[in-house]
C-alpha cells in the first residue's frame, strides 16, 4: 500500500456522476420551486441549518410525504429538548415503504451461513406483512403497544417490524448474540405484549440453540401475550401452546394490508444505548421523525434509487439495521446477511456483493481494517462493476482504510466515512457524491444538522479538536426515554454540559470547507465495531464474580490507533489473577453482555481510581491511557485514592512505547 497523508485527494466525482446525484436533483428542484440557487454544497448546508424550518418543509415536499391530515407548522420552537415537529400531521411509516412496491425487482435479498441466497419479492413482503399485522391485531395488540424481537437480520424480522409500523405498535429488537441478562434488562423496561424470536442461529460455522433462552425470556417478561418463534435452525417443528406459536401459523390466514395513520411524533421504535450508569437507555423515536430523516439521508444525500441494491453488515442490535431497512423508503433492494463476515473466509461479503449486484456496501472501519490485515484484494476475484459506494461507520476510518478501498476494491468509488448514533438513528456527518474524497476525512456535515466543535468554554472552533455538539433540533432526535419521568435521564445524557445544546460525546475537528474528522469518544461509553454499550452493564457481569471487588473498563478507540479495550479488576485480599479467573471473566461477559464486549486484556490492580464522592474515574483514565498529560485531565486533590493513578501512568507509557515501535 502506498503511503498517504491525511487530507490527500483520493477521488473526484465525474461531471456525469455529479449531474445524476440525488442532491443535484434536489438542488434543481429547490431552484425551480423556491428560487434558491447554491453554487457550493457548503452553501446548501449553511442554508439548511440557518433556515431550518424551510429546509425540512422542502424535504417533506420533495420526498412526497403522505399525510392524512395537514400539519399546522413545521417547528413550533427550536428549543432542545422538546422540539415539536409537524404538529397536526398524521402518517404511517409502512405506507411510505409499500408505495414503492413493484413486480420486477426484489424487496429483500437474504443470505446466511445456513441459507443460500433467497429473494423476497415486494408482493411476498406485502402479503406476509399484512398477515402478521392481522395476527397481532387478533391478539389484541393496539397502537402504542410494544412488540419486541430476539431475531437476527433476516426477512421475518423485517416483516414483523413493518407489521408493527403499519398498525402503530412500537418495535424494539435485540440480536440473539446478546446474553439473556442484557436482553431482559432492555425488554423488561418497556413491557412488551409480543415477542418474536428465532430458535437458534449460526455464527462462524457454529450453531447456537436459543430455545432455552426463549423460555427464560418468557419467564422474565410477564406482560407477554404471545411468543412467535421462527424455526430458523433444523431443530424440528415448534409445537404451539397457549404462550408460543410458530411463525408459520401466523401466515396461514389471508389478510389485506392497511395503514393506521398516527401523529408525527407517535413512537415507531425503541432503540437501546447505554450510558455509564444505570440500565440501558430506552430511546423512543417517532414515526414522522425517522421517516423524514431517512428520506433525507437516503434519497437526497446518498441519492439511493429503486435500481440500487443496498447492504450494510449489521445486527438487529445496532441502529444501522434500522437505517438499512429505511432503504425500502427509497424503493431500493435491501440485502440482509446473518453470520460472520469472515466465514468461511474474508471473501464472504465480497462474494455476496458480486452475487447480488450490490451498489452500496455498508460496513465498519473495523471490517476494512480486518480486510487490510488479511491481505484481501476484492477486485482481483470479484466482479464489482455495479458497486458505487463503500460506506463505513462504527469507528473512525483511517487514511490507510481509505486508500485500501481505492487500491483493492475499485478506483472509481465513492468512499464514505460517516458518524452518527443510535440516539438519532442517522449519520449527522457523512458523505456527498458531489464532493471529492480526501484521505481520513468525513466529507461534510449532514443537511439540516447544525454540527459544531465546541471548546471547553462552549464556543465553536474551526481546525481545532472539540466536543461534537448539535446546536439545533433534528426531527429524529429522541421523543423521550421510555419511563424517564420528567426527562431527567434524557437531559443528563445530552444537555447537562451545554444547556440547550446537544453534546454527543465525540471529539471532532471541522475545517473551513466543512469537512471533519472524528477522533473517537470524549466520554466513557464503550464502542465496539459500532455497537455502543454502557460500562455499567459490563461491571454488573464482572463484579458478580465472587473474587472481584470492583472493576474499571476503558475503550481506547481513537483515530490512528488500533482499538483496544482493557479491563482492570481489584481482587479480594489473598486472591490473584490467573488464566482460570480471566477465562471466567470473559465467559461471564460473553454470556451476560455480548461476545463483542469481551476485553482485549485483563489487568489486576490494587485499587480502582475514584473521586472523593466514590465515582470511578473512567474518562480521566481513558485520557491518560491515550497519552494526555496527567495534570491536564485529573486533579489528584479531588481523588479519594490518588496513589491508584501510578499504575495507569506506567501503563500509558508502556502502551505509547508499543505504539511507537509499530510505527
As a whole number of angstroms, the distance between CA 272 and CA 319 comes to 9
172: its cell numbers: 424494539
373: its cell numbers: 490485515
As a whole number of angstroms, the distance between CA 561 and CA 553 comes to 18
CA 623 from centre of chain = 25
Give the global pTM.
0.85
In the chain, which residues have pLDDT < 70?
Answer: 1-3, 274-278, 529-534, 558-562, 611-615, 637-638, 659-663
Residue 353, φ and ψ in degrees, nearest 5: -60, -45
pLDDT of residue 500: 94
As a whole number of angstroms, the distance between CA 623 and CA 456 comes to 15
663: its cell numbers: 510505527
CA 43 from centre of chain = 29
Least Cα distance to 111 among 304, 309, 273 occurs for 309
CATH number for domain 534-662, candidates 3.30.1280.10, 3.40.50.1980, 3.30.300.30, 3.60.20.10: 3.30.300.30
Burial class (CB in 10 A: 0-12, 13-18, 19+), 214: buried
pLDDT of residue 210: 95
3: its cell numbers: 503511503
Name every residue whose Cβ is closer than 8 Å to that of residue 392 and which is 6 or more positions away in sequence: 362, 363, 364, 365, 368, 401, 415, 416, 417, 418
Q: Where in the chain is the domain with CATH 3.40.50.980?
A: 106-113+121-260
CATH superfamily of 9-57+287-478+494-521: ANL, N-terminal domain (3.40.50.12780)
Q: Which residue is associated with the grid cell 481510581?
A: 609
Distance from the first to the final alpha carbon of the chain: 15
Return the H-helix or E-strand segment holding 323. Answer: helix 319-325
Let me know: does 248 contact 232? Beta carbons within 8 Å.
no
**CATH topology assigned to domain 106-113+121-260:** Rossmann fold (3.40.50)
CA atoms within 13 A on the CB side of 256: 1
As a whole number of angstroms, the distance between CA 605 and CA 549 comes to 11
CA 213 from centre of chain = 25
> Helices in 376-421 by DSSP H: which ranges?
378-381, 399-408
Give me the long-range contacts of 540-543 (CB less than 8 A, separation at least 24).
540/181, 540/592, 541/179, 541/181, 541/588, 541/589, 541/591, 541/592, 541/593, 542/567, 542/569, 542/585, 542/588, 542/589
Angle of helix 22-34 relative to helix 52-62, nearest 10 degrees, comes to 110
Name every residue whose Cβ is closer than 8 Å to that of residue 652 and which is 6 or more positions away in sequence: 624, 625, 626, 627
As a whole number of angstroms, the distance between CA 62 and CA 58 comes to 6
Return the H-helix or E-strand segment holding 581. Answer: helix 579-592
Q: How many other β-carbons are positioned within 10 Å of the β-carbon of residue 205?
A: 11
pLDDT of residue 276: 44
Helix then strand count (H, E) for the chain reads 22, 35
Name every residue whose Cβ is closer than 8 Å to that of residue 488 and which is 6 or more positions away in sequence: none
Q: Which residue is associated with the grid cell 463476515?
A: 341
pLDDT of residue 506: 85
As a whole number of angstroms, the distance between CA 358 and CA 106 comes to 13
Angstrom distances, CA of residue 544 to CA of 182, 536, 538:
14, 12, 10
pLDDT of residue 2: 64
As a whole number of angstroms, the distance between CA 200 and CA 401 comes to 34
Burial class (CB in 10 A: 0-12, 13-18, 19+), 58: buried
As a whole number of angstroms, the distance between CA 169 and CA 94 comes to 12
Q: Which residue is associated with the grid cell 447505554?
A: 274
Angstrom distances, CA of residue 369 to CA of 245, 291, 338, 373, 396:
43, 33, 20, 6, 11
Least Cα distance to 389 among 347, 451, 445, 332 occurs for 332
Q: Where in the chain is the domain with CATH 3.40.50.12780?
A: 9-57+287-478+494-521
Strands 309-312 and 267-273: unpaired
Q: Where in the chain is the domain with CATH 3.30.300.30?
A: 534-662
As a whole number of angstroms, the distance between CA 217 and CA 185 comes to 10
As a whole number of angstroms, the distance between CA 233 and CA 181 comes to 23
- 3-class DSSP state of 651: helix
pLDDT of residue 411: 96
Amino acid at each position: 500500500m502506498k503511503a498517504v497523508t491525511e487530507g490527500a485527494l483520493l477521488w473526484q466525482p465525474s461531471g456525469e456522476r455529479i449531474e445524476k446525484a440525488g442532491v443535484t436533483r434536489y438542488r434543481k428542484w429547490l431552484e425551480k420551486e423556491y428560487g434558491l440557487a447554491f453554487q457550493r454544497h457548503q452553501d446548501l448546508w449553511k442554508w439548511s441549518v440557518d433556515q431550518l424550518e424551510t429546509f425540512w418543509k422542502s424535504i417533506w415536499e420533495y420526498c412526497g410525504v403522505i399525510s392524512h391530515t395537514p400539519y399546522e407548522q413545521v417547528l413550533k420552537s427550536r428549543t432542545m429538548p422538546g422540539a415539536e415537529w409537524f404538529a397536526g400531521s398524521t402518517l404511517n411509516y409502512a405506507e411510505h415503504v409499500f408505495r414503492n412496491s413493484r413486480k420486477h425487482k426484489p424487496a429483500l435479498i437474504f443470505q446466511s451461513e445456513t441459507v443460500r441466497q433467497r429473494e423476497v419479492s415486494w408482493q411476498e413482503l406485502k402479503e406476509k406483512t399484512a398477515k402478521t399485522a392481522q395476527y397481532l391485531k387478533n391478539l389484541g395488540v393496539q397502537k402504542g403497544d410494544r412488540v419486541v424481537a430476539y431475531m437476527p437480520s433476516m426477512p421475518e424480522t423485517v416483516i414483523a417490524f413493518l407489521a408493527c409500523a403499519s398498525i402503530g405498535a412500537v418495535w424494539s429488537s435485540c440480536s440473539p448474540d446478546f446474553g439473556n441478562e442484557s436482553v431482559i434488562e432492555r425488554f423488561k423496561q418497556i413491557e412488551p405484549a409480543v415477542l418474536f424470536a428465532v430458535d437458534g442461529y449460526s455464527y462462524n460455522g457454529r450453531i447456537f440453540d436459543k430455545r432455552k433462552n426463549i423460555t427464560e425470556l418468557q419467564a422474565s417478561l410477564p406482560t407477554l401475550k404471545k411468543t412467535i418463534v421462527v424455526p430458523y435452525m433444523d431443530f424440528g417443528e415448534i409445537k404451539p401452546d397457549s404462550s408460543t406459536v410458530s411463525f408459520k401459523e401466523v401466515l396461514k390466514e389471508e389478510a389485506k394490508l392497511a395503514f393506521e395513520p398516527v401523529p408525527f411524533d407517535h413512537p415507531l421504535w425503541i432503540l437501546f444505548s447505554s450510558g455509564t450508569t444505570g440500565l440501558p437507555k430506552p430511546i423512543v423515536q417517532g414515526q414522522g421523525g425517522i421517516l423524514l430523516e431517512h428520506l433525507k439521508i437516503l434519497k437526497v444525500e446518498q441519492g439511493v434509487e429503486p435500481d440500487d441494491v443496498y447492504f450494510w453488515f449489521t445486527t438487529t442490535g445496532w441502529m444501522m439495521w434500522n437505517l438499512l431497512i429505511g432503504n425500502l423508503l427509497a424503493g431500493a433492494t435491501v440485502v440482509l446477511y446473518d453470520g460472520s463476515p469472515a466465514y468461511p473466509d474474508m471473501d464472504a461479503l465480497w462474494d455476496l456483493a458480486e452475487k447480488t449486484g450490490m451498489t452500496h456496501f455498508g460496513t465498519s472501519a473495523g471490517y476494512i481494517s480486518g480486510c487490510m490485515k488479511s491481505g484481501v484484494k476484492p477486485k482481483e476475484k470479484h466482479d464489482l462493476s455495479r458497486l458505487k459506494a463503500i460506506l463505513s461507520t462504527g469507528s473512525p476510518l483511517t487514511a490507510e482504510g481509505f486508500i485500501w478501498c481505492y487500491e483493492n476494491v475499485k478506483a472509481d468509488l465513492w468512499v464514505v466515512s460517516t458518524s452518527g448514533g443510535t440516539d438519532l438513528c442517522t449519520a449527522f456527518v457523512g458523505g456527498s457524491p458531489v464532493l471529492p474524497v480526501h484521505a481520513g476525512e468525513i466529507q461534510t456535515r449532514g443537511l439540516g444538522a447544525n454540527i459544531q466543535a465546541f471548546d471547553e468554554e462552549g464556543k465553536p472552533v474551526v481546525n481545532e479538536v472539540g466536543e461534537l455538539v448539535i446546536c439545533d433540533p433534528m426531527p429524529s432526535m429522541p421523543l423521550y426515554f421510555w419511563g424517564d419521568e420528567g426527562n431527567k435521564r434524557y437531559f443528563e445524557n445530552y444537555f447537562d454540559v451545554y444547556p440547550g445544546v446537544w453534546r454527543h460525546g465525540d471529539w471532532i475537528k471541522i475545517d473551513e470547507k466543512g469537512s471533519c474528522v472524528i477522533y473517537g469518544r470524549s466520554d466513557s461509553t464503550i464502542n465496539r465495531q459500532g455497537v455502543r454499550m454502557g460500562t455499567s452493564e459490563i461491571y454488573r457481569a464482572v463484579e458478580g464474580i465472587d473474587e472481584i471487588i470492583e472493576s474499571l473498563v476503558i475503550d481506547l478507540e481513537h483515530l490512528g490507533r488500533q482499538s483496544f479495550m482493557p479491563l482492570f479488576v481489584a481482587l479480594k485480599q489473598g486472591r490473584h489473577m490467573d488464566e482460570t479467573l480471566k477465562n471466567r471473566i470473559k465467559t461471564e461477559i460473553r454470556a451476560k453482555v455480548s461476545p463483542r464486549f469481551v476485553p482485549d486484556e485483563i489487568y489486576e490492580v490494587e485499587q480502582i481510581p475514584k473521586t472523593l464522592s466514590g465515582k470511578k474515574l473512567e474518562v480521566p483514565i481513558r485520557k491518560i491511557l491515550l497519552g494526555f498529560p496527567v495534570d491536564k485531565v485529573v486533579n489528584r486533590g479531588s481523588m479519594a485514592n490518588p496513589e491508584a493513578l501510578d499504575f495507569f501512568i506506567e501503563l500509558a507509557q508502556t502502551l505509547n512505547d508499543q505504539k511507537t515501535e509499530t510505527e
